[in-house]
Amino acid sequence: MVRSRLLPLATLALLLAACSGRQSTLTLDTKPLAKTGDATPMVEKGDALWAERADQAKAQEAIAAWEGAAALDPTRADVQLKLAYAYYFMANVHLRWLDEPEEAQLAAYEKGLVAAERAIKLETPAFAEKIKAGEKWQAAVKTVGKEGIAGLYWHSTNLGKWALLDGFTTILAHKDDVAATMQHVLDLDETFFHGAPHRYFGVYRTKIPFPGGDLPASKAHFEKAVAIDPNYLDTKVLFAESYAAKAQDEALFRKLLQEVIDTPDDVIPELVPENRNSKRVAKKLLEDIEEYF
């Protein structure tokens, strides 16, 4: 009887290992990074194109310029961080509106994940060495200081999105590492990227613990994220879609999404394309409200 119970557990463990879908570049042996040219002109070209990222073609050209810069100078963590966010942006803002977006989004999130891993290697080499040596992520991540926040955050954001698209076993394989990373980011700076760690846990707590989540905890995290930056519109979109829908609070759902729609596009001048996308999502959620209530 004991053996019969252990076999499914062993099978699940093998499944998780086999289906996690990719090997982290942090665990791979790599050649020493060497600068072969001046990346600055390519970085500046990418920056100029990125200012027009509302146009998908311009966003893709910006990514190509930054990839070129990274090839010239692979020692620049700032370029890898630009790429980590850019691939996330492409998936979240442009590719999501394709008729069948999943395959394209999966590829974009994985590229963002690789860029974030490269940034982690450059910004926090001691942490990267611990992972390469086999130390558990959840323990090692606690040793990273504030200098590593951006790499960790965009790593976990792209990893989480990629895992959701890759499948249930991939989610199970990575969810605890992602949660530990986000908790560490929250501990280091809860205001990072417009309250991002609270925004993450707002969504996370609608699902964890399985199966019903912890809705009071979810609401508290979302409210904290809104308090940190009420003008970052994706927070209210996720608050409505994740918490209000699950709590069956239709009034809050409508209120949050209408606030998003009524907010000026340039309330955060550097995030106009992101906020316009949030408003588009909000309108779609309201159009489809009968699917939620």
In tens, the pLDDT along 154-176 reads: 999 999 999 989 888 888 889 99
- pLDDT of 183 reads 97
Percent of the chain with pLDDT over 70: 92
Provide the residue count of the chain. 293
Contacts of 171 by beta carbon, 8 Å cutoff, 6+ apart: 163, 164
Segment 118-131, tens digit of pLDDT: 999 999 999 999 99
- pLDDT of 33 reads 86
- pLDDT of 20 reads 52
Q: Give the pLDDT band (50/70/90) at residue 29.
A: low
- pLDDT of 26 reads 82
Segment 228-260, tens digit of pLDDT: 999 999 999 999 999 999 999 999 999 999 999
Residue 284: is its pLDDT beyond 80?
A: yes
Q: Give the pLDDT band (50/70/90) at residue 81.
A: very high
Residue 210: is its pLDDT beyond 90?
A: no
Residue 10: is its pLDDT beyond 80?
A: no
Give the whole-angstrom CA distance, residue 168 versus residue 16.
Answer: 9
Residue in the structure block whose two tokens are 């954001």: 157
Q: Give the pLDDT band (50/70/90) at residue 93.
A: very high
- Answer whether 137's CB lies under 8 Å from 131's CB: yes
Q: Give the pLDDT band (50/70/90) at residue 1.
A: very low
Considering the entire predicted model, what is its pTM? Answer: 0.90
Of residues 102, 105, 101, 142, the one with CA closest to residue 124 = 142
- pLDDT of 15 reads 38
